[in-house]
Structure 1
Amino acid sequence: MGSSVIHVDDLSASYQKNKVLENVQFRVEEGTLTGIVGPNGAGKSTLIKTMLGLHPILTGKVNFWGQTFKKTKKKIGYVPQRGSVDWDFPTDALDVVTMGLYGKIGWLRTPSKKDKGKAMEALDKMGMNAYAHRQISQLSGGQQQRVFLARALVQNADLYFMDEPLAGVDASTEKAIMAILQELKQQGKTVMVVHHDLQTVPEYFDHVLFLNRTVYAYGKTDDIFTKENIAKTYGGNMQWIGEGDQYVVHTTS
Structure 2
Amino acid sequence: MDVLTVRNLSTAYQSKVVLDSLSFSVEQGTLTGIVGPNGAGKSTMIKSILGLQPKISGDVEFYGNALQSQKQRIGYVPQRGAVDWDFPTNVIDVVTMGLYGQIGWLRFPREKHRKLAMAALEKVDMTEYATRQISQLSGGQQQRVFLARALVQEAELYFMDEPFAGVDAKTERTIISVLEELKDQGKTVLVVHHDLQTVPRYFDHVLMLNKQLIAYGPTKETFTTAHLSKTYGGTIQWLGGENLGQRSV
| Shorter-chain TM-score range | over 0.9
Q: CA deviation at 1:57?
A: 1.2
Contact 1:240/1:247, CA 8 A, preserved across alignment = no
Contact 2:86/2:135, CA 8 A, preserved across alignment = yes
Matched, 1:212 2:210: yes
SS at structure 2 position matched to 1:191: strand
Report Cα offsets for 1:91-140 as digits up to 9, x if no partner: 00000000000012111110000000100110111000000000000000
Q: What percentage of residue pairs aligned between the two structures are identical? A: 63
SS at structure 2 position matched to 1:119: helix
Name the amino acid aligned to 2:89.
Answer: T
Q: Alpha carbons of 1:131 and 1:245: their partners in 2 closer, same or farther (altered >3 Å)?
A: farther
Name the amino acid aligned to 1:179.
Answer: S
In structure 2, C-alpha distance between the alignment counterparts of 1:210 and 1:246, rounded to whole Å: 15
Task: Select 1:21's aligned residue among 19, 22, 37.
Answer: 19
In structure 2, C-alpha distance between the alignment counterparts of 1:215 and 1:239, rounded to whole Å: 18
Matched with 2:52 is: 54
Aligned length: 245
TM-score normalised to structure 1 length: 0.95
Task: Select 2:183's aligned residue among 162, 185, 192.
Answer: 185
Matched with 2:74 is: 76
Q: CA deviation at 1:239?
A: 4.5
Matched, 1:224 2:222: yes
| 1:91-130 alignment, distance < 5 Å | 91-130=89-128
Report Cα offsets for 1:19-64 as digits up to 9, x if no partner: 1000101000000000000000000000000000000010110000
Q: CA deviation at 1:205?
A: 0.1
In structure 2, C-alpha distance between the alignment counterparts of 1:173 and 1:245, rounded to whole Å: 31
Matched with 1:157 is: 155
Name the amino acid aligned to 2:223.
Answer: F
Task: Select 1:242's aligned residue among 216, 239, 244.
Answer: 239
In structure 2, C-alpha distance between the alignment counterparts of 1:74 and 1:240, rounded to whole Å: 43
Q: CA deviation at 1:244?
A: 2.2
Matched with 1:88 is: 86
Q: Which runs of 5+ in 1 are unaligned?
A: 249-253
Stretches (4+) displaced over 6 A: none
Report Cα offsets for 1:121-179 as digits up to 9, x if no partner: 10111000000000000000000000000000000000000000000001111011000
Contact 1:199/1:246, CA 8 A, preserved across alignment = no
Name the amino acid aligned to 2:105.
Answer: W
SS at structure 2 position matched to 1:202: helix
TM-score normalised to structure 2 length: 0.96
Report Cα offsets for 1:161-205 as digits up to 9, x if no partner: 000000000111101100000100010000000000110000000
Name the amino acid aligned to 1:49.
Answer: K
In structure 1, C-alpha distance between the alignment counterparts of 2:186 and 2:130, rounded to whole Å: 29
Contact 2:229/2:236, CA 8 A, preserved across alignment = no
RMSD: 1.2
Matched with 1:251 is: none
In structure 1, C-alpha distance between the alignment counterparts of 2:244 and 2:211, rounded to whole Å: 25
